A and B are shown apart, each in its own frame.
Chain A
Amino acid sequence: MRRRSFLPVTFLVPTLAILLVLSMVPTLYAIVIALQNRELSTPGYSWVWFSNFADLFLDRRFLNAVWVSVKWEIVTVVATMVVAIGLGVLMFEVAGPRLRNFYCLLFIIPVLLPRVSAAFVWKFAYHPLYGIATYPYRLVTGGLIFDPLSKASTALFAVASVDVWQWGLFFAVIVLKLLETLPPQPIEAARLDHARRWQIHAYVTLPMLKAPLISLMFVKMIESLRSFDLIYVMTRGGPGVATETLDMYAFSQGFIESGKVSYASAMAVLMMIATVITFTMLWKRVQA
């Protein structure tokens, strides 16, 4: 009976058609714009083919943005996984069922916040004179000023800490749930062999969870691409270009500074190609 139904066609085709149109039109159009020389201020345009791309590779600010993006990706992904595994294991070890539920609820809160809200919350907290997060430093040093967001060496880490605050805590909940799904026997066996607590996790439970943890890291890598809101609110890419990621630079080229839409689009196209290729390859490996 199931086989003869037209349901798959009527349910799938409209949705997939709409998704295809909604995603392919902007994607293809982004490539078209990247091959022209459109600017927001002037209505006319002509085809310049690949000269936008050629210019990009000579643009030192673009190369800087690539480097900042790579740094951002590595810092946030690694720190998120470390925090998540650390706190997940801690909850698994020392918290009873009720306490676990309580912590889980607390740890989900930051990730639900709009990125803009999270960015504001921490921008206030990091304020050198009146911030709550810099207060301990002022207290200990007797009023010295520490301004993490306006120092080139710390700004990226300060913004990244907000990202980890949101995702690391959330992933800790997932790590805990994953640990809870494991069968108890291997853990018992390791305990009988006098393995220490950390050894049990390092050599038994975490290796058993390798596949879901890698998937989790994959998700974080995708979500880390969306750094724009945090950086836009907290530093605007500054100080200088210390936190200027690719999407921030594309935005400021296209909208704030010069309105060079085509140039910005060329950047976006390069980002798109790089991410689609990287993540498709990673996904195939994760699935395999």
Chain B
Amino acid sequence: MMDILLAAITALLILGGAGFALVAAIGLNRLPDLYTRMHAASKAGTVGSGLLLLAVGVHAGDLPTFARALAGFFFFVLTAPISAHLLAMAAHKVGYPLCAESVRDEMKDYDKRI
């Protein structure tokens, strides 16, 4: 009974992770500009691969493996926003425009000053 429960949790994690990865990929294609695409990639994408890693930890069922998987999960979750932030900053400084639907850009005055 216990192993079926564990298998169900693992399966749920696997399917959830794959689903989030798919959603991120769809978002990458559907969203209109670079900055909104970054939302999809940095949130849904990270959660997707993080959940899959957690699934490995749960499936293995021993503590060292789980701890390693957890460490990997936190590593991804902490690095994804940093890379997204760096990329958005670089793109905006260099002048890649926001999409036409954008309603405001309070950063443009700041960029012009430097």
> A and B from one assembly?
no
* Chain A residues packing against B (C-beta within 8 Å): none
